[in-house]
Amino acid sequence: MPLNALPSHEDKHATVRSMFDRIAPRYDRMNRLLTAGLDQRWRRAALDTIRVGSGDRVLDLASGTGDLAELAAARGAEVIAVDFAGEMLRSAQKRGIRAALVQADGEKLPLPDRSANVAVCGFALRNFVSLPNIFRELARVLEPGGRIALIDVDRPTTPVIRQGHAFYFDRVVPFIGGLLSDRAAYAYLPASTAYLPPEAELIEMLRRAGFEDVQRTSHLLGAVQTLTGVRGKTT
């Protein structure tokens, strides 16, 4: 993938899976470095917001190396961690994540209807080919009243903050990523925000999929967002 280009709709699935397989060995270290450890704070805050705890059956979609799965399991939840990149799941296994690890496409989850009561996803929405399909699949596997928390990057709207964020995200992140991991992958990271619809459109997609009480929380002056909601009881 050219450093200044994003994969086409047809190529996105295979390109992104290959990329995450490549960066899996250094993925956790790079996340902590590039966010100064704040990524874990945002994950914990998301779990707090939807009150994940003992007795919950949690789907961690696009689980990567298992950060959200690990945090949910530590709260007593039963976790299924799903990712399409096999190397990411192997890294999670090496970490000893207490979750069932499943390699699968998020648009075709190998889970029964209403088999979970919580679904979470950390920093992966922009990697899916079709968000409406993903949201419908989450609604399918969640029982009525099930909760979701979806975390991803964002772009600040305040001009001065947006400019500073752009310098770090668009220049510093690819530079550090190129030195320590994979140049193409960490050029994709900031560019991939183009895949994310505006706030109103994201919220409407979730509502159409059957989610209610959809809320959006902004973090780090608008650099990160968390979407939460509840699966409608009549969906």
pLDDT (tens digit per residue) in 9-29: 779 999 999 999 999 999 999
Enter the pTM of the model: 0.94
pLDDT tens string 189-231 = 899 999 999 999 999 999 999 999 999 999 999 999 999 999 9
Helix (H) or strand (E) holding 12: helix 12-23
Q: Letter for the amino acid at 200?
A: A
CATH node for 12-231: 3.40.50.150
pLDDT tens string 58-103 = 999 999 999 999 999 999 999 999 999 999 999 999 999 999 999 9
Q: Are strands 224-231 and 142-153 parallel, antiparallel or unpaired?
A: antiparallel
Percent of the chain with pLDDT over 90: 94
Distance, in Å, from the CA atom of 223 to the CA atom of 38, rounded to the nearest integer, reads: 12
Domain limits of the chain?
A: 12-231
Query: For residue 15, how many other CB atoms are within 10 A of its CB?
Result: 17
- What are the residues whose beta carbons fall under 8 Å from the beta carbon of 188, sequence distance 6 or more? 1, 6, 16, 19
Q: Are strands 78-83 and 57-61 parallel, antiparallel or unpaired?
A: parallel
Q: Tell me what pLDDT residue 136 has.
A: 98
Q: Are strands 224-231 and 211-219 parallel, antiparallel or unpaired?
A: antiparallel
